[in-house]
Each structure stands twice: as structure tokens, then as C-alpha cells.
Chain A
Amino acid sequence: MNEEQVWLEQARKGDKTAFGHLIEAYQTPVYNLAYRMLNNSGEAEEAAQEAFIRAYTRLDTYNPAHKFSTWILSITSNYCIDVIRKRRALLLSIDEPLPPHPALKTQSSKGPEAQVLIQEQQDMVQALLQELPEDYRQTVVLRYWHDLSYEEIAEMMDTSVSAIKSRLFRARRQLAEVGMQYGLDPAMETAVAI
């Protein structure tokens, strides 16, 4: 039994400290997924916390045959989709300027030029992601940042592998098209290599 399985077993019995270790281990991928999906640091943090709370209260339904990371990301992405739908239902404008991610303000270890480049890169990525429908965005985020296989994404999104391939195909072409409109030409290829 590895360390993670021990934490899971203890957390299942109500040990919050053990679950704290799981939060420490997965907070970055969970938060990153929420932020990429919601494009708002406050909502992303709320979504990440909610995902962990849901996971904690439903640990008895977790199947150890699957990776815990896949399970928690699945909870997070489903929660984010619900938030996006509710946001749309409330007719809130997502075009208004959103606060930048706090991590982007605290890259003090890097020089000012590098910070500007990172900021530009993050802004470009977020702007591009917001152009995609949420199911395409979800697929792109899970594929690029969480390195999930097509099979894992299909399982998480309750669809087929061919549907995921098709979504990623269309999403990439849409991103390429919008990227060019945003002035992201192939010459920028070296500029984004930070």
C-alpha cells in the first residue's frame, strides 16, 4: 500500500489530517483546471475547495481501481461546467475584465522582462481558451496541462474516445484560427519559449 492509499484509507475514516496531505498533493492540478475553465481566480479557488469537499464527503464512492487524480479532476471539471451554466443562466457578462491570477503577481524570483512575457503568455492562453465552448475547453485543459490520455478524458466526460479526438481536433483548429487573429503568428514560437 503506497502513501496515497494510506491517506485515502485514513481520510475515509474521517481523518482530516490525512485528507490534508491529499489536498497538498493535488491542489495545483485541481486549481489550475478550475482557473483555466472559469478564468477567474476567486471562482477557481471556490471551485477547487468545493471539489475537495465533495471528494471528502463521497470518499466511500471512490473506486480505487481508478487514479485518485482522475477522480478529483472529474469532480472539479463537472463542478466548473455547472458554474459556467449557472453563470450563463444568470446572464453575467464574462467579457468584463477579470482580475489576473495572484501567482502572476508574485513571480518575484524572475526578472521584470520574464514576468512580462509570462503575463503575456498567460493572458494569451486564457483569452484563447475563453473562445472555446466549455466541452472543448475542458478537453484541451485536461489534455495539455493534466496529460490525460484520450481514454481517461473520455471516461471522465462520459463519452467515446473518437468524440474526444474529434473535439480536440476542432478545438485545435479553432485555437489556431483565433490565435492568428490575435496576432499569434508562427514567429512568436520562439518568443513564447520561456
Chain B
Amino acid sequence: MEHEEIYVMMMEALDGELADEQQPLLADHLRVCPPCMREWQALLTIDQLFRQTPLLSPAADFTQRTLARLPNTRYRVGLIGAIYMLLLFSGTLPILIGIWAISQYGSVVTQPGVVSSLIQSAAQIVQVIGAVLNALLNGLGEFVVQQPAVLGWLLVMIGIVSVWSGVYRQLIGWPSMSLTRVRSLNS
């Protein structure tokens, strides 16, 4: 029997999961294989050492000191509620103004002449925005053609920043990573 198979059986035996029919196989092998017997005794010793080592407790006033550090969530919940109400109000206010304006000036706005002039104005605004974007893109294209070194330098800088931020993240470890793991436990 391969030693690796024996190691697997040892682990199962330590976890109390070794099948009854496999127990004699392990015992027979250990009797005739001194290296495996030494490994088994070492594993058993470690296992017993860890099982017999008690849990450690914090200092007696741990609870009081931890409670003193807890934030006031009632205040927090109230504050978040107030912010949500403010956002809701700021979102509904323009709608209310719109409804009021329509009720006041609806008859004027719906006249055919006013509607067509509004459409024309909107079309002109779109044309202006299009012209500005077009000019910007053209300028950018010309800059890339005339100054390729500047563009290359910018790309290199972005690459260096990305690499170093990756290294920094690996070294420090983002708290958000652990939060993701906690969230995955909850999902």
C-alpha cells in the first residue's frame, strides 16, 4: 500500500472518520512500517496536545470595555432615516414643481406654435453639443498624432500606478476583501 494512502487514512483516523474495514489495514501497515509508525505517533501527539490545550479568555472587564466602544446605532439609524427623507424630498421637489408649472402654464405650453419652437430649441442645443464634442475629439486625435511620446509616457505612468497599487493591495489586504468574505457567508 502506498504511503500517501496511509497518510490519508491517518487523517481520517484523527478525525474519527476512518471506516471500520480500513482500521485493520492501517494498524497492520503501522506494525510493519517504522517510518509510518513514527509519523503516526507524531501526528497523534500533536493532535492530543492541541485537543488538551484549553481556550483562552480575555480580561474580566472585556465586555464593559467593548460595550463602551460600541457606536450609538439608534442615533445612526435616525440620521440615515433623515438623510433618506432629505434625498426623497429633494427628488420629489422638482416633480412637484413640474406638476405645479404644468397646472399653471399647461394651456400656454400646449399651443402648436410654442411646441414647435421648443422642439427647434432642443434640436439646436443638441447640434451645439455635437459640435463641441466633435471639436474635442478632433483636437485629441491631432494631439495623439503630433505628440505620441506624451501619450506613451502617460500610458507608462498608468501602468506603473496600476502595478504598484496591486502590490500595495496584496501587502496590506483591503478590509473590503474580508467584508466580501463575510457577506458571502451571509448570502
Q: Which residues of A contact B (CB under 8 A)?
A: 13-14, 16, 19-20, 23-24, 27-29, 31-32, 35-36, 44-45, 48-49, 52-53, 56-58, 61-63, 66, 70-71, 74-75, 78-79, 81-82, 85-86, 88-89, 101-103, 121-122, 124-125, 128, 140, 144-145, 155-158, 165, 168-169, 172-173, 175-177, 179-180, 184-186, 188-189, 192-194
Contacts and interface: CB of A to CB of B under 8 A. Distances in A.
A172 B47 contact: yes
B41 interface: yes
A137 to B, nearest CB: 12
Nearest to B8: A169
A85 B43 contact: no
11 contacts: A23-B66, A23-B67, A31-B58, A32-B57, A45-B62, A53-B69, A63-B185, A78-B182, A176-B42, A180-B42, A184-B49
Query: Which applies to chain A's interface (DSSP): helix, strand, loop or mixed?
Result: helix
A52 B77 CA distance: 19
B66 A49 contact: yes
Nearest 7 CB-CB pairs, A to B?
A78-B178, A176-B42, A14-B74, A85-B173, A186-B41, A89-B171, A31-B58
A102 B59 contact: yes
Nearest to A12: B73
Interface centre among B44, B45, B77, B173 (most CB of A within 10 A): B45
B56 A121 contact: no
Interface of B: 7-8, 11, 14, 39, 41-53, 55-59, 62-63, 65-67, 69-74, 77, 171-173, 175, 178-179, 181-187
Given A86-B173, A169-B7, A74 B62 contact: no
A61 B173 CA distance: 22
B20 to A, nearest CB: 21
B53 A125 contact: yes
A151 B126 CA distance: 59
